[in-house]
Amino acid sequence: MTIVYRTATPPLDECLDVYRACTLGARRPVNDRERMATMFAQANLVVGAWDGDHLVGLARALTDMAYCTYLSDLAVRESHQRQGIGRGLIAAVRAAAPQATLILLSAPQAVDYYPHIGFTRHESAWTIRPDQPVHRETP
Ligand SMILES: CC(C)(COP(=O)(O)OP(=O)(O)OC[C@H]1O[C@@H](n2cnc3c(N)ncnc32)[C@H](O)[C@@H]1OP(=O)(O)O)[C@@H](O)C(=O)NCCC(=O)NCCS
């Protein structure tokens, strides 16, 4: 099997199919087509892993191309996992912005994956969801 990594956004339906073919499908709004379309339209670095004309994996990232790259989604079809495709997608994302540090939030299923391939856990990462308020300073 020869996998080709292409830095270009694949057709939305093929992307949705990849999410649904692995556990990331349960963690992204795959049934909200419009939102997913926006997620892909506004991401500025998307890599597809192609087995011929079959999309078998993807990476969806936002990067400033110089300092930081947020890797939001990394997904490989269950049928194609543990064959080096995840690693290949990460390599392609890094190659597109070689000066940038890669930042991501791991899905529970992948918490052992990232340290295994060389990522360092960051102890001071913080998030705030859209429905959470920023606390006002107390007087
Ligand atoms: C996590 C994921 C992207 C890994 O992709 P992959 O193509 O299967 O991984 P690779 O083949 O590149 O694996 C590289 C190495 O990590 C290991 N590995 C793969 N998945 C692993 C996991 N979940 N936990 C620990 N190690 C893992 C492989 O065995 C391989 O080890 P080796 O080089 O020592 O033989 C893929 O399993 C996936 O899509 N999972 C579901 C969605 C998900 O959780 N995505 C992450 C969202 S943050």
Say which residues have a Cβ less than 8 Å from residue 112's Cβ, sequence separation at least 6.
Answer: none
Residues 6+ positions from 90 with CB-CB distance below 8 Å: 59, 71, 74, 102, 117
How many angstroms separate the alpha carbon of residue 132 from the centre of ligand 1?
A: 31
Per residue in 113-130, pLDDT (tens digit) is 999 999 999 999 999 999
β-bridge mates for residue 62, sequence order: 70
The domains of the chain are located at 3-116
pLDDT at residue 139, rounded to an integer: 66
User: Ligand 1: residues within 6 Å at CB?
Assistant: 22-24, 74-76, 81-87, 104, 106-107, 109-110, 112-113, 116-117
On the question of pLDDT at 1 being above 90, the answer is no
CATH code of the domain made up of 3-116: 3.40.630.30
- Tell me the three state secondary structure of residue 93: helix
pTM value?
0.96
Question: Which of 81, 89, 104, 105 to mutate to test ligand 1, by most ligand atoms within 8 A of the CB atom?
Answer: 81
